[in-house]
Amino acid sequence: MTMTSRELIKAVLEFQNPPRIGLDLRAPFPTDLHWVGRKPNRVEEVELAPVGGEFRRWKDNWGNIWAKVSSLDMDKGEVVEGAITDWSQLDTYTPPSLGLADEYAHIPVERAAHPDKFVIGGMPGFVFNCARYIRKLENYLCDLVVERENVDRLNALVARELLAMIDRYGEAGCDAVMFPEDWGTQDRVMISPTMFREIFKPYFVMLCGRAHSHGMKVFMHSCGKITEIIDDLIDAGVDLLQFDQPTLHGIETLGRRFGGRITFWTSVDIQRTLQTKDAALIRAEAKLLVNSLGRFGGGYIAGRYPADEAIGLPRETQDIACEAFLEYGTFRA
């Protein structure tokens, strides 16, 4: 009997020998996934007057001020002022309410409309990704050392709302939650693995545990080289890691060290391989990804980077990778 996409992705994640790899290649190529998200019942972005050469400035639902300097969609903007500029503001800071039930009422309808797809609920991040904006990244990294008590209080506020969000997704029938959290630079984790384990791993355990209690999987995106903490992420309960730069870790290294214990979802490397526009190299990497990461009776989803413009490539370049994934995408025994 032919598997539905939902059944196949579950088999990929649980290493149950599905007939092919998972696919998220985007139209006109196939995808096994369907995304859903919270729909706020109120305006959450407040437009502000641009400053200097800014194209746009706005305040988000966490109270952070963002700005972007161009009209390009690929320019997502940066936080120019966190919601908490001085720790004296923490006592009166109120994060957005992410657990309001009516903001998730549409998801069961979408679930019913896509019964064969694996449904993922999008999150704004885990604790680090949200808290670092509230304080602005460079401040927050310093705070980890010199303002630990305040950091712990802020992280707890953020975690409370993320737990509520996970509960709503679970109640709505999602198959997984996914969050972005860029922990890596080009050559290492942004903070020491020891600090990660002490401050952040307990939140990963908490949030992953809550998702698992609803029968949902946990998907994490990260840019950068986070190889040093992958064992910790597995231990905490992350079920899948989504990478756009798999060669930073070493594709065969990922398979050798972590294969069979966690699923990887990657495109062909957007920094190194796709930039060559060399069809032979792109096809070879797609084959290597399948053979290195998808040889454990599961464990691999092939992806396509969602914005060709952002990485300066014509659509046809990623089409080469997609065609190769379709050609090579059956699991080896």
In a domain, 64, yes or no: no
In a domain, 61, yes or no: no
The CA distances from residue 215 to 166, 171, 238, 267, 298, in Å, are 11, 10, 13, 27, 19
Of 200, 266, 195, 190, the C-alpha closest to 235 is 200
In a domain, 54, yes or no: no
pLDDT digits (tens, 9 = 90+) for 228-263: 999 999 999 999 999 999 999 999 999 999 999 999
Residue 332 has pLDDT above 90, yes or no: no
Residue 58 CA to residue 216 CA, distance in Å, equals: 34
Domain carrying residue 29: 5-42+87-328
In a domain, 169, yes or no: yes
pTM of the complete model beyond 0.95: yes
In a domain, 73, yes or no: no
In a domain, 195, yes or no: yes
In a domain, 282, yes or no: yes
Of 50, 59, 51, 201, the C-alpha closest to 128 is 201
Contact 221, 266 (CB under 8 A): no
pLDDT digits (tens, 9 = 90+) for 78-124: 999 999 999 999 999 999 999 999 999 999 999 999 999 999 999 99
The count of structural domains within the chain is 1
| Neighbour tally for 211: CB within 10 Å | 25
The CA distances from residue 256 to 249, 291, 295, in Å, are 11, 11, 11
pLDDT digits (tens, 9 = 90+) for 261-311: 999 999 999 999 999 999 999 999 999 999 999 999 999 999 999 999 889
In a domain, 77, yes or no: no
The CA distances from residue 118 to 5, 131, 148, 210, in Å, are 6, 29, 39, 19
CATH code: domain of residue 147: 3.20.20.210
Residue 74 has pLDDT above 90, yes or no: no
